[in-house]
Structure 1
Amino acid sequence: MAKTADHLFDPILLEAFLAVADELSFGRAARRVHLTQPALTRSIQRLEQQLNTKLFERTTRSVGLTHQGAALLAPARQVLEAHHAAHQSVVFADEGLTGRVRVGFPGPSASDAVGRLVRAVRHERPGIEVALRSGTLGYEAAEHLVNSELDIAILRWRHRPVGVSSRIIGVDQHVVLLPTDHPLAGRDSLSISDLRDEDWIVLDAHGSPLLETFWGACQREGFVPRLTHRAPDAWTAMGLVAAGLGVTINYDATYRKVPRDGIRVIPVSDHLVSHARLAWRTEDSSAAVREVLRISEQVMPTVTP
């Protein structure tokens, strides 16, 4: 059987072929594909010419498939299904129904919000894959957005990067972590100045807004904190505090739903302002990103500071 690559998989001709093969009647097949009978006949003839073979045995009373026609049935159906799937993929991608959206978040302080977002996206747009990246903090996360390494990020910053838009999704309460046997562990709240003589454990995160806020509070109180340990993440910092190696500061959301064995979590009385934000590239044209941002408004509504 000769093949003409340019026309072998013409879906219009294959649809006409399958209609005749299913109906075994040119009249019924023509009505099914919304063509006149002469137009349908020409489509079949064109396909037969391209394949250089006869697909139907036709008499005045009946229509039947030849062996070659029967052999084309399954491949023709597969081609039309693939054509339909390809068309749907393009349409869905254009409408934001499919795609991959990369979401960065700092860690425990945003885990609840991320969980709600992923669940909502899966429910409303199962064709969109949400790829999560934990441990992206502050300006690092903003840099990943600008460089198109992330599409959306939950972060905190003190200065908005150029080309990035955001909305506030949370107002942070700062807390300090003390060992349970610390002399100040029974207090309902503490100021930064109450802890000026303590050994401090801080997160080892370059450009962290939390550290900037902490350093600013210490400077206003007129002291330089004694940094004794740098922890790679909030979990490690908590473990070091429980071991009696110092105190640390973080956001209350970080430790809201974790075991607190060996530590006390105490609110900071100083007015330390920090906002959790949902951020994205201002000029991002991805329909999938726009759809995830739309869904995010339902599960992470904008907060007025």
Structure 2
Amino acid sequence: MSVSAHGVEPRLLRAFLAVAEELHFTRAAARLYVAQQALSRDIRRLERELGAELFGRTTRQVTLTAEGARLLPYARRAVEAQDELLAAFARPAADSRPLLVDVNSPGLVHERVLARARELAPEHELMARYESGLTGAAAELLAGRLDVSFGRFAGLDPAVRERLAQQPLRYEPMAIVLPADHPLAGLDAVPLDRLAGETVYAGAGNPRTPEWTDLARRLFAGRGIAVAPPAPLAVGKEEFRRIMTKYRHPVLTGVDFPAMPGSVLRPLVDPVPLSPVSVVWLKGREHPGIEAVRAAAGELARDNGWLVRPDDAWIPATDALVMRGQD
């Protein structure tokens, strides 16, 4: 492996890391918010500059070559160093810039956290953004395009988690959205074993939310519940109603999911599955707004008992450790 005398652009290393971590060019391009053709050009350029083939490519899969694996730790350190440099020199002006907070979806408790943070820091502008998926948000946090998000921290790649900070916010009870005429719709709560034989939508194929699909697979394992195959994301109430009517797949969600036409939401019980939610931000990023969000999250979690787990709760062991700050 030989390097050009001009050095390697950090942008090319970021492209390499995205493909190396996703092992899929389409997902990596979505994560970086670039066209797949542009990403492929960057990877080819990096390979030319280094004089090494970094990925093995077939029609079925992408793999790291030995040279790609050798580059990986160096690329991570180089990108982390650049992020630290940019963060350090951005701090003097950071206090005055607006803080961008991804609250995921309307109606969730994240909006309450943001509202309280605005009360705690009225002199700062805290802007809300509505995009679901912590995996997608994490890429933007690392790139400096987003300041705070919420979600299942344990579901992120360990290499990504190392560069982010988190504060546990809530163990959110999980629920199921059913067609209004579904046989289970008449129950006040749905025992988990009553979903045996069902195919449940849990975001499979959505590159922004693999952490949610992974949580669903862990919950469904050994219970005879299948994860529905990838499908286009339904955006808006009318599109949700149409997709629910057409496919009739129950949808796994949290108890705060907003009401949708033609469907009912029922909490899951026996056991009560929990979706662990954390406040997430970039390590080293300093802004009074971030401190306000963290203070608001701590206050609301304490006052509402959001971090108290029911006796009959279900949660993956890895998530329990992360929520206790042990990973």
* TM > 0.5: yes
Aligned ranges for residues 1-305 of structure 1 at < 5 Å? 98-108=96-106, 110=108, 112-114=109-111, 116-159=112-155, 161-203=161-203, 205-206=206-207, 207-222=209-224, 224-227=226-229, 229-233=231-235, 235=237, 236-237=239-240, 240-241=243-244, 245-255=248-258, 258=259, 260-269=260-269, 270-299=271-300, 301=302, 303-305=307-309
Pick the structure with greater CA Rg. Answer: 1
Aligned partners of 1:98 and 1:288 also within 8 Å: no
Q: Rate the CA distance shift 1:146–1:196 in 2: closer, same or farther, 3 A.
A: same
Q: Rate the CA distance shift 1:253–1:134 in 2: closer, same or farther, 3 A.
A: same
CA distance in 2, matches of 1:291, 1:172: 22
Where 2:274 maps in the other structure, the secondary structure is coil
Q: Rate the CA distance shift 1:265–1:117 in 2: closer, same or farther, 3 A.
A: closer
Gaps of 5+ in 1: 1-92
Q: 1:118 Cα shift?
A: 4.0
CA offset digits 1:5-42 (Å, max 9, x no partner): xxxxxxxxxxxxxxxxxxxxxxxxxxxxxxxxxxxxxx
Gaps of 5+ in 2: 1-90, 310-327
- TM-score where L is the length of structure 2: 0.53
Where 2:98 maps in the other structure, the secondary structure is strand
Sequence identity, in percent? 14
CA distance in 1, matches of 2:95, 2:120: 9
Where 1:265 maps in the other structure, the secondary structure is strand
Where 1:128 maps in the other structure, the secondary structure is coil
Aligned partners of 1:102 and 1:150 also within 8 Å: yes
CA distance in 1, matches of 2:297, 2:101: 12
CA distance in 2, matches of 1:294, 1:145: 20
Number of residue pairs the alignment of both structures matches: 208
Q: Rate the CA distance shift 1:261–1:94 in 2: closer, same or farther, 3 A.
A: same
- TM-score where L is the length of structure 1: 0.57
CA distance in 2, matches of 1:180, 1:162: 43
Q: Rate the CA distance shift 1:144–1:248 in 2: closer, same or farther, 3 A.
A: same
Q: Rate the CA distance shift 1:169–1:127 in 2: closer, same or farther, 3 A.
A: same
CA offset digits 1:73-109 (Å, max 9, x no partner): xxxxxxxxxxxxxxxxxxxx97987431111122136
Q: Rate the CA distance shift 1:142–1:231 in 2: closer, same or farther, 3 A.
A: same
Q: 1:221 Cα shift?
A: 1.7
CA distance in 1, matches of 2:286, 2:266: 44
Q: Rate the CA distance shift 1:234–1:172 in 2: closer, same or farther, 3 A.
A: farther
Aligned partners of 2:126 and 2:289 also within 8 Å: no
Please say which of residues 182-191 and 288-297 is displaced more in the overlay. 288-297
Q: 1:250 Cα shift?
A: 0.6
Where 1:172 maps in the other structure, the secondary structure is strand
Aligned partners of 2:177 and 2:252 also within 8 Å: yes
Aligned partners of 1:242 and 1:261 also within 8 Å: no
